[in-house]
Chain A
């Protein structure tokens, strides 16, 4: 049919270039487009500026040396508070960082989506976010109050990667969990947005078991759609699956030791996505939950 935007994860990565600014949806270790991140790991695309509410997406790309600059308010695995690859990379000075408040990231993406240069917020003032980001500026209200607020600059993206529960081939994306996170905003802030999903369904079936407010992302903001079953693994993708805490624990343990990380990489990340999913299945056969 016309308007079919379906493509493979490799095709998505083929459209990314070294040096780009890429936004990654989800939050912490929740609904991260991990299959797309894994495809990115297999490519030679590097030198990225990454905008993310950081989870293992940040950790894996940091471990692979693909990040030039990270724009974030945190990186965490949620049930494991500190993202071990992120902390290690920061401690060895592996990349530059633009450290912002959580709400500043949201308003920066909103400004980018709305094609505004900045949005004024009452945040950052008095904190060291201003010290470590000397390019941040304040703005004075032109009204009677005369308040001086922080002007959060637009966080415009070359590309966005997000993962939703369902989508059609035209790029209409649906979330079925309780939190949309900021995935629509990431898509709107980007010149090109790539949406992976658990299943591609017929447009007419999107609302078979869900209300219209679940249609988070519309096709005007989507360049490519990829079906990646279990594609957020090992992060949570409610209601399709919970976070895989066993694999996440194994990941976190391995990330703290170079030798263990080589073993983990050889076992899980040396092949394609199908090989990854097989390795995960084999892991669960050996170590039942």
Chain B
């Protein structure tokens, strides 16, 4: 019997796909290559009811390889409808993060003092409305102390502590689900909603994760490994969704 060994990038793809398990008939909004492959994998396997866009205004009826055009269009979602869809809650977004803290506050706006930043990034984009209205997860391809910080410089995506301070209108539909990185999977399923290590990708250690995290992380007594991709999932990733191995550019082997 032949065995297939998954790469680190492929573990990350499957961990991202898991974000949308059981989500129902909603829009999966992945940002970044690995989350995009993950969302498509979820749709081709355990979450066939997911809606996906072509990255622009079309909802795709088929599941093209990353970088390829869809052959089937099933719907129309221009920016104005996409922004309005957020408030319906029928969406789970996976955003990137320039900085992320233990409460799930995210920054994609700028590093340093906002009035005159040391490094200007994108701006807050849709993070403030996303986090208050639909489930939000994060993808961090390079887990480091630069990203996982004690306090973020400009709260763009709202974390649990800040939502609670802002009151019931902020917490009503607020949920930060998972954080997937090149080292492991994290969630906020702790009594005070601070970040917890949920699983390690094979090959990594708890110490390695602690070393790369700039705040004290909740770590259970026994940490499982991230689920192994199935043979069929690996076939879909390698042959159907990402034959050009774009995933390896985001997460080198």
Question: Which A residues contact B (CB, under 8 angstroms)?
Answer: 27, 53-54, 72-76, 81-82, 86-87, 90-93, 99-104, 106, 121-129, 131-132, 147-149, 177-182, 185
The reply to whether the CB of B220 lies closer than 8 angstroms to some CB of chain A is no
Report the minimum CB–CB distance from A60 to chain B (whole Å). 17
Partner of B122, one of A27, A76, A148: A76
- Near A by CB (< 8 A), chain B positions 105-164 give 109-110, 114-129, 131-133, 154-158, 162-163
The reply to whether the CB of B167 lies closer than 8 angstroms to some CB of chain A is yes
Q: Is the CB of B56 within 8 A of A179?
A: yes
Q: Is the CB of B128 within 8 A of A124?
A: yes
Instruction: Give bound CA distance, A87 to B98, whole Å.
Output: 15
Q: Is the CB of A147 within 8 A of B168?
A: yes
Q: Is the CB of A122 within 8 A of B122?
A: no
The interface residues of chain A lying within 8 Å CB-to-CB of B173 are 122
Report the minimum CB–CB distance from B198 to chain A (whole Å). 24
Partner of A82, one of B115, B120, B167: B120
Interface of A is mostly: loop
Q: Is the CB of B169 within 8 A of A149?
A: yes
Q: A122-B133, A132-B114 are in contact. Are A103 and B78 (CB under 8 A)?
A: no
Q: Is the CB of A147 within 8 A of B169?
A: yes
Interface string of B1-21 (1 = CB under 8 A from A): 000000000000000000000
Instruction: Give bound CA distance, A127 to B115, whole Å.
Output: 16
The reply to whether the CB of B165 lies closer than 8 angstroms to some CB of chain A is yes
Instruction: Give bound CA distance, A91 to B117, whole Å.
Output: 5
Q: Is the CB of A91 within 8 A of B120?
A: yes
Q: Is the CB of A103 within 8 A of B129?
A: yes
Q: Is the CB of A122 within 8 A of B117?
A: no
Partner of B114, one of A124, A128, A149: A128
Partner of A73, one of B114, B125, B155: B125
Ranked nearest first, the 5 interchain pairs of A and B with the lowest CB-CB distance are A74-B123, A123-B129, A126-B166, A90-B120, A126-B158
What total of A-B pairs shows CB separation below 8 Å?
141
The reply to whether the CB of B223 lies closer than 8 angstroms to some CB of chain A is no
Chain A CB count within 10 A is highest, among B76, B120, B167, for B120
Residue of A nearest to B55 (CB): A78
Q: Is the CB of B128 within 8 A of A129?
A: yes
The interface residues of chain B lying within 8 Å CB-to-CB of A76 are 122
Instruction: Give bound CA distance, A123 to B169, whole Å.
Output: 9
Report the minimum CB–CB distance from B71 to chain A (whole Å). 15
Q: A74-B124, A122-B169 are in contact. Are A128 and B56 (CB under 8 A)?
A: no
Q: Is the CB of A178 within 8 A of B56?
A: yes
Chain B CB count within 10 A is highest, among A73, A93, A125, A149, for A125
Q: Is the CB of A102 within 8 A of B125?
A: yes
Report the minimum CB–CB distance from B226 to chain A (whole Å). 28
Report the minimum CB–CB distance from B36 to chain A (whole Å). 15
Instruction: Give bound CA distance, A178 to B155, whole Å.
Output: 33
Q: Is the CB of A182 within 8 A of B116?
A: no
The interface residues of chain A lying within 8 Å CB-to-CB of B165 are 126
Interface string of B41-61 (1 = CB under 8 A from A): 000000000000000111000
The interface residues of chain A lying within 8 Å CB-to-CB of B58 are 178
Instruction: Give bound CA distance, A129 to B57, whole Å.
Output: 27
The interface residues of chain A lying within 8 Å CB-to-CB of B158 are 125-127
Instruction: Give bound CA distance, A104 to B166, whole Å.
Output: 18
Residue of A nearest to B153 (CB): A128
Q: Is the CB of A126 within 8 A of B116?
A: no
Report the minimum CB–CB distance from B164 to chain A (whole Å). 8
The interface residues of chain B lying within 8 Å CB-to-CB of A101 are 124-129
Of the 9-residue stretches B79-87, B209-217, B237-245, which lies at the interface with chain A?
B79-87
Report the minimum CB–CB distance from B168 to chain A (whole Å). 7
Instruction: Give bound CA distance, A189 to B123, whole Å.
Output: 23
Q: Is the CB of B129 within 8 A of A122?
A: yes
Report the minimum CB–CB distance from B108 to chain A (whole Å). 9
Report the minimum CB–CB distance from A222 to chain B (whole Å). 19
Report the minimum CB–CB distance from A105 to chain B (whole Å). 9
The reply to whether the CB of B170 lies closer than 8 angstroms to some CB of chain A is yes
The interface residues of chain B lying within 8 Å CB-to-CB of A127 are 124, 127-128, 131, 155-158, 162
Residue of A nearest to B113 (CB): A93
- Near A by CB (< 8 A), chain B positions 224-244 give none
A-B contact pairs, 18 of them (CB 8 A): A27-B79, A54-B123, A74-B123, A74-B125, A82-B121, A82-B122, A93-B116, A99-B124, A102-B125, A127-B124, A127-B128, A127-B157, A128-B114, A128-B155, A129-B124, A129-B128, A132-B114, A148-B169
Known contacts A91-B119, A122-B169; 12 further A-B pairs (Cβ under 8 A): A76-B122, A81-B122, A90-B117, A93-B115, A101-B126, A125-B158, A125-B167, A126-B128, A127-B131, A178-B76, A179-B57, A181-B78
Q: A101-B127, A126-B132, A126-B163 are in contact. Are A179 and B109 (CB under 8 A)?
A: no
